[in-house]
Amino acid sequence: MGVIIPQVITSDRASGAQVIDGSVGISSFSNSHLKRDPGSAGNRKTFSFSGWVKKYNPTLPGAQDDQVIIEARTSSPAADGDIFGVRIEDDGRISVYDYGNFYVRSGAGRMRDTTGWYHVFFSVDTTVASNNVKLYVNNILVGQGTHAQNTDTRFNSTDTHRIGARADGTDDLWLNAAVTNFYVIDGQALEPTDFGYTDPLTNTWRPKKFQTTTRPNNGTTWSSSLSATDPIANASNAFDNSISTYADRASGSSDPNDYTFTPPSTIKAYSSVRMYAYAASGHSNNHFKITYNGGTTLTKTASDLGLGTPGALAWFDLTSYLTFPIDISSFEYRSISGGGQLAAFEIDGVLLVDGLNDTKGFGTNGFYLPMDGN
């Protein structure tokens, strides 16, 4: 692992860096922190965090050894086994943790300097089998590890999320630092380069504003546009921000059973197109088909995609067969027998979710807190 070098945030417009005019102070001396209780759960498997932190003097009154940067924790009961977050430890190392289940700690690098800024970034994607949690400081990969695949973490749940403390009261672990430009992106495992860059004039890591292409969720109730050869049970499960639930056949015995999703208007895809659905155990001909760009079609079976016959839900991924961007007018999932199970459609790494209006791509519980006076 590389050495962590604190960075200086300045208003050097000549280099094209984002201008940051200020920050918010959080300290044990003032007992200050920010908290939020999400009204609904977001994507607890896939998300990213980015923020800039400048540590205060460690001798401040009430300063504690471990200091929370951001954390999600259930309050009933308030137990360490019900926490997911990132903190600075007493020796200056930084860690991402799902207590009782998972822990990633930085290596040789330490966050000890109180004169410069540190960019803290982590991404989580437990839908991936290995190295699905990554931790960076100033664009240096300081730790990575593998959480159990498809684990739902506490993050993006309806539990209390805090910046700068673990809890209200004595069990707090206050952060003693100035903070600015905090992002949470719900539903995407991004890279630190989405939030910063190396300034060619100064060779320092600098902040930049997060940019995103237009995302597909625009408030539409997608499940209203889903039909099938046989009547559908639980159509909304295919658009509920989860890959653990699915739409299936309510009645009938048609083989094949075709699920057709025709959105009210075309959906633009810039980088990827996937479907999560049942790949049968007895054969490999279940397929995923899209119609795009005014009538072009692409169809790939489980066999074509190397899925074989797992007898389980699997990702049907058309990405490598397409030249982007494309405008998709319809999607089809064919189940050769048994009625099929359709769990999700994903465009550019984002699940299509009923009623979600998130064209900027922050996700259900994502946010941007400038904390710089702008």
Contact at 8 Å (CB) between 318 and 326?
Answer: no
Neighbours of 56 (CB within 10 A): 18
Residue 66: pLDDT band with limits 50, 70, 90: confident
Percent of the chain with pLDDT over 90: 63
- Mean of the pLDDT values across residues 44-62? 84
Give the model's pLDDT for residue 203: 93
- Mean of the pLDDT values across residues 126-149? 93
Whole-prediction pTM value?
0.73
Give the model's pLDDT for residue 59: 60
Residue ranges of domains in the chain, CATH in brackets: 13-212+362-369 (2.60.120.200), 222-351 (2.60.120.260)
pLDDT for 177-218, tens place per residue?
999 999 999 988 999 999 999 999 999 999 998 987 688 999
pLDDT for 19-37, tens place per residue?
677 899 888 777 778 999 9
pLDDT for 308-356, tens place per residue?
888 999 999 999 999 999 999 999 999 999 999 999 999 998 899 999 9
Contact at 8 Å (CB) between 271 and 323?
Answer: no
Give the model's pLDDT for residue 312: 93
Residue 247: pLDDT band with limits 50, 70, 90: very high
Contact at 8 Å (CB) between 123 and 102?
Answer: no
In sign, the C-alpha dihedral spanning 327, 192, 86, 39 is negative
Percent of the chain with pLDDT over 70: 88
Residue type (1 letter), 65? D
